[in-house]
Amino acid sequence: MNHKMIKFVTGMNTDVMKLKEIRDEKGTLSGVLIPADDIRELKESLKTGSKFFDYFDSLQSDRENEKRNLDQLMPNGLTVAGTNEKTAELTEKIHRKAFSMGVPMFYRDERAKAPKEFIRANPDGSEDLVSYDLATRSYSVLKSLLPAGKGYWSKLSIAK
């Protein structure tokens, strides 16, 4: 896909919005990317009550709520965003340590459909879909999902 920066100047003022055209291989326009910071300005140029105005008003409101929620202080003294960042760092540290010892890590995402299915992130950066048998306390591989170095956690793999 070819991305080209263009400038859009509203008729009301001289502020410039940075839009990004999204074109297919043939050069046909297939969409326009609007930076979130420009939504307020774009909304102000629309007719109040129009479907586009209401849509952009909703987007702007959602974004402000998300920011407010992320900036909210947690009991640990950090913001929600800061807590998320610390949690991500700790999760990476745990995965890195496990992989360095040759131990796979397990998680669930949309690829694990049944309650007993998990994604096994292997130390070599590969991923398998596995099923856990509670009675035998063992995993069985249902299928290989991604080869070595291609899994979500591959940036932490020991096979670099």
Using an 8 Å Cβ cutoff, are 119 and 127 in contact? yes
How many domains are there within the chain? Answer: 2
Same domain for 124 and 152? yes
Q: Report the distance separating Cα 62 and Cα 72, nearest Å.
A: 15
Same domain for 24 and 7? yes
Same domain for 65 and 85? no
Output the pLDDT for position 159. 58
Same domain for 112 and 62? no
Residue range of the domain that includes 22 = 2-71
Same domain for 99 and 137? yes
- Please identify, among 24, 51, 71, the residue that sits at the C-terminal boundary of a domain: 71
- Please identify, among 29, 45, 71, the residue that sits at the C-terminal boundary of a domain: 71
Same domain for 88 and 58? no
Same domain for 64 and 124? no
- Please identify, among 10, 44, 71, the residue that sits at the C-terminal boundary of a domain: 71
- Token output for 2: 């070819």
Q: Is the pTM of this model over 0.75?
A: no
Output the pLDDT for position 13. 37
**pLDDT 10s per residue in the chain (160 long)?**
444 544 443 333 335 667 788 888 888 888 878 887 787 887 888 888 889 888 888 888 888 888 888 888 989 999 999 999 999 999 999 999 999 999 999 999 999 999 999 999 999 999 999 999 999 999 999 999 999 999 999 888 765 5
Output the pLDDT for position 53. 86
